């Protein structure tokens, strides 16, 4: 799996819950949400485009920051 890092403009628990919901619906992902820094880290075989489109379904501004090297 690649670990991808995304920026999502989350301001509260509700925002992170929305991210959790859309990612669970997509399936096949493991993720961590860093609410204070507005980042979402995703382990997945899905393409970056698919993940980004999914994150945008929350209605939040989302962008791809790059790959994280998995230690």
Helix (H/G/I), strand (E/B), else coil: 19: helix
CATH number of 3-68: 3.30.70.100
Tokens 């999502």 belong to which residue?
A: 8
The pTM score is 0.91
DSSP state of 28: S
For the chain, the structural domain boundaries read 3-68
Separation between Cα atoms, residue 70 and residue 57, nearest integer Å: 27
Separation between Cα atoms, residue 67 and residue 65, nearest integer Å: 7
Residue 68 banded pLDDT, cuts 50, 70, 90? confident
Separation between Cα atoms, residue 46 and residue 29, nearest integer Å: 8
Does position 2 have pLDDT exceeding 60, yes or no? yes
Q: Tens of pLDDT along 24-54?
A: 999 999 999 999 999 999 999 999 999 999 9
């Amino acid at each position: 799996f690649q670990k991808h890092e995304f920026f999502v403009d989350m301001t509260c628990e509700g925002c992170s819950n929305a991210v959790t919901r859309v990612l669970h619906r997509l399936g096949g992902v493991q993720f961590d949400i860093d609410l204070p820094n507005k980042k979402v880290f995703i382990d997945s075989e899905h393409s970056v485009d698919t993940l980004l489109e999914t994150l945008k379904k929350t209605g939040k501004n989302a962008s791809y920051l790059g790959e994280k090297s998995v230690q």
